[in-house]
Amino acid sequence: MLTDVKILDVQKIRKDFPILHTLVHGKPLVYFDNAATTQKPLCVIQKEEEYYKTLNSNIHRGVHSLSQKATTAYEQAREKVLRFFNASRLSEIIITKGTTDSINLVASSFGKKFIKEGDEIIISHLEHHSNIVPWQLLCEEKGAALKVIPINDKGEIIFEAFEKLISEKTKFISVVYVSNSLGTVNPVKEIIQLAHSRNIPVLIDAAQAIQHFKIDVQELDCDFLAFSGHKLYAPTGVGILYGKEKYLEEMPPYQGGGDMISSVTFEKTTYNSLPYKFEAGTPNIAGVIGMGTAIDYLNEIGMDLISSYEKDLFEYANAKLSSVEKLTPIGTAENKLSVFSFALEGIHPHDIGTILDFDGIAIRTGHHCTQPVMQRFGIPATARISLSFYNTKEEIDFTADALKKVFEVFG
Amino acid sequence: MDSELRELYQQVILDHNKSPRNFKKLEDANHHAEGHNPLCGDHLDVYLQLENDVVKDISFIGNGCAISKSSASLMTAIVKGKTKKEAEHLFEKFHDLVTGNLKDANEIEALGKLAVFQGVQEFPARVKCASLAWHTLHVALNNTEEKISTE
């Protein structure tokens, strides 16, 4: 029945995001840099303001009312995260500064305990620098080796090559769910299944996935999962590390300090229980509460509705932009979403970015912190359009026309 | 087209981008440096033939945006035949120009064709593109072989 079909009212949604109504160089902002960071709905902005106006105090340590209220609000945000990706235990939800912090925590702490000389860690060629460098640092320290799953010309990982890379030496696998520079969706479920058949834990970098579709960590059965709040319509400086208790219990603390202890003497310190063992120091309390609000906001719209709208929008963008003369899409994976990376013949991405900016269009140009991906395609950089559910087909049409202007400038 | 944009992408810049001068590896170079802008992935090599502190010949190769490529091209054209000291002085003035610190009309005029990069000062994100070649030249002149980065 037609009445059952829910349609995302994008004009109504756009009213929720104040920044979308600003002008850039006198033109309405077209924000196509969502893979770098997403804009914040008014409810999130107001929540942060409200926190500082009415709740500001430190958490987990005061008996006074403000501290207790702030603690409750903070812990409610953790519960919202738990329900959002269907985790089962609050002890498995660690609040961090972001994806980079989450991955570093695992590389450092899991690495300290479990990685030894001669061991191997597998990542993919699609990784963001934040899922490469922490493992390189670990490998250097421990005398372990980093192995990389290769990609094909479409920008998809070669699964058979992955199967061959796994060996007795493999002790950890860390792969990205959705590539930030190409939009490729990796077959993480299959990767996890294969890894688990060999008892190897897997970390999923969900920085570019969590905002686009429903993730169920129990169904996925990943051992760790990392994401950033600011790519999920929440403030910057907050993120999440999901980890299975069986690993987190065994892992030593990442940072020492306040909040992560149960008792301290100069002779011996005992650590706090999970998840607090990994949460040293005063966090970005307002940001975490804001992340809870962002999750409420997304739930209200519905992740399934967001996914279907974004899928339709991406298909439109892909067809429309691919038809622009002298434009070559970079990364043409079968399973791809949200990100359209491209090159224009004879024109450097940086120049494209500056010229589009004059039409109010914000895109990302550069290597997107994925230099190995750029090297694989033999290019120094790409221009990248990345979409959100507040973007429209009109904005894509406008951008396709603006791209033609780039050629006018360059004659 | 927007005048500020036209101010940035002047005809001279577009011309040097399309047909960069001295765009080759100098086989008998005695000075060389490699420049890199990690922000955008721009990368270039500057080769010098320096004799008695005079730039006898200069060339560059590399990959970059229109601003960085044309800047490198114009730089090689202007620096050729200059003394090391004169080249360093030009670098200083050029840097002032693109960062908006060169106000004196006579001084700007004295930069000749390099004055086309005046528009860059309106684009803070592009200052590094315009100055990468010059930073690299500075390192090459002083004959350090290390990689330089504008970050």
pLDDT tens over chain A, length 411 residues = 455 568 899 999 999 999 999 999 999 999 999 999 999 999 999 999 999 999 999 998 888 999 999 999 999 999 999 999 999 999 999 999 999 999 999 999 999 999 999 999 999 999 999 999 999 999 999 999 999 999 999 999 999 999 999 999 999 999 999 999 999 999 999 999 999 999 999 999 999 999 999 999 999 999 999 999 999 999 999 999 999 999 999 999 999 988 888 888 888 889 999 999 999 999 999 999 999 999 999 999 999 999 999 999 999 999 999 999 999 999 999 999 999 999 999 999 999 999 999 999 999 998 889 999 999 998 888 999 999 999 999 999 999 999 998 998 887
| A367-to-A239, A350, A381, A397, B56 alpha-carbon distances in Å | 23, 11, 5, 25, 36
CATH number at residue B134: 3.90.1010.10
Res B14 pLDDT > 60 = yes
Q: How many domains does chain B have?
A: 1
pLDDT at A6: 81
Instruction: Give the per-residue pLDDT at A59.
Output: 93
pLDDT value of position B43: 87
Question: Is B149 within a domain?
Answer: no
Q: Looking at the domain covering A46-300, what would its CATH class be?
A: alpha beta
- Of A285, A296, A298, A299, nearest to A72 (Cα)? A285
Q: B71 to chain A, minimum CA–CA distance in Å? A: 14
> Which pLDDT score, from 0 to 100, does residue A233 have?
98
B61 is a domain residue: yes
Look up the ipTM and state it: 0.86
State the virtual CA torsion across A6, A11, A12, A15 in degrees, nearest 10: 150
Which residues constitute the domain of residue B7? 3-141
User: What backbone phi and psi angles, to 5 degrees, belong to A264?
Assistant: -130, 125
Is the CB of residue A369 less than 8 Å from the CB of residue A132?
no
Residue B151 lies in a domain: no
The answer to whether A369 is a known catalytic residue is yes
- What does the domain layout of chain A look like in residue ranges? 2-41+302-410, 46-300
Alpha-carbon distance of B42 to A350, in angstroms, equals 10
* A378 part of contact set with chain B, CB < 8 Å: no
Q: Which residues of B touch A380 (CB under 8 A)?
A: 40-43, 63-64
Contact B1 A374 (CB under 8 A): no
Average pLDDT over residues B92-96: 96
pLDDT at residue B102 tops 70: yes
Name the closest residue on chain A to residue B14, using Cα atoms. Answer: A410
pLDDT at B38: 77
Q: How confident is the model at residue B149 (pLDDT cuts 50, 70, 90)?
A: low
Say how many Å lie between the first and final Cα of chain B, rounded.
32
Q: Residue B150 — very low, low, confident or very high, per pLDDT cuts 50/70/90?
A: low
In a domain, B105, yes or no: yes
Q: b/e map of A58-86 (b: 16 or more CB within 10 Å)?
A: ebbeeeeeebebbbebbbebbebbbebbe
Neighbours of B89 (CB within 10 A): 12
Cβ contact, residue pair A380, B41, below 8 Å: yes
- Tell me how close the Cα of B142 comes to any Cα of chain A, in angstroms: 28
Cα separation, B93 vs B111, whole angstroms: 8
Tell me whether strands A202-205 and A170-176 are parallel, antiparallel or unpaired: parallel
A408 touches chain B (CB under 8 A): yes
Question: Under DSSP, is residue A10 helix (H, G, I), strand (E, B) or coil?
Answer: helix
* Contact: A348, B39; criterion CB under 8 Å: no
**pLDDT value, residue A5:** 67
Top-tier CATH class for A2-41+302-410: alpha beta
- Predicted local confidence at residue B146, as pLDDT: 47
Q: State the best of B8, B42, B45, B65 to mutate against chain A, taking most chain A CBs within 10 Å.
A: B65
Candidates A410, A364, A354, A352; CA nearest to B4 is A354
Q: How large is the average pLDDT for residues B6-29?
A: 92
Which tens digits make up the pLDDT trace of B32-88?
999 988 777 788 999 999 999 999 999 999 988 999 999 999 999 999 999 999 999
Whether residue A365 and residue B40 make contact (CB cut-off 8 A), yes or no, is yes
